[in-house]
Structure 1
């Protein structure tokens, strides 16, 4: 049970870094953004793919630590 707090701290630091990068980078090329009149539609396709890849790598890494 002593490893769990360490994992939470590392995960928190990773989320903080990802949030800071996301804030400064903004929308990635490939994200869908449509604005017509008063209606705005935004779907972050590339951002979702990047987050999925990063989470897959992290979960795979933490899964092999046992």
Structure 2
């Protein structure tokens, strides 16, 4: 049976990329340290989930095309 743990979910975005991170932590102390690091990076929106080990599948499709200039 899997142990319960904390999952910290946050997003970092810039002009070049957008990263979604889901990071597991075994205890509240390591979770608090991770949150302090996020706050130092000025990331103040995150989600904490407390539960058992999870699996996830993400399917994402993005279609890019060259923008036409309107003059």
Could you state the TM-score of these two structures normalised by the residue count of structure 2? Answer: 0.28
Higher relative contact order (CA 8 A, sep 6+): 2
More strand per residue: 2
More helix per residue: 1
Larger radius of gyration: 2
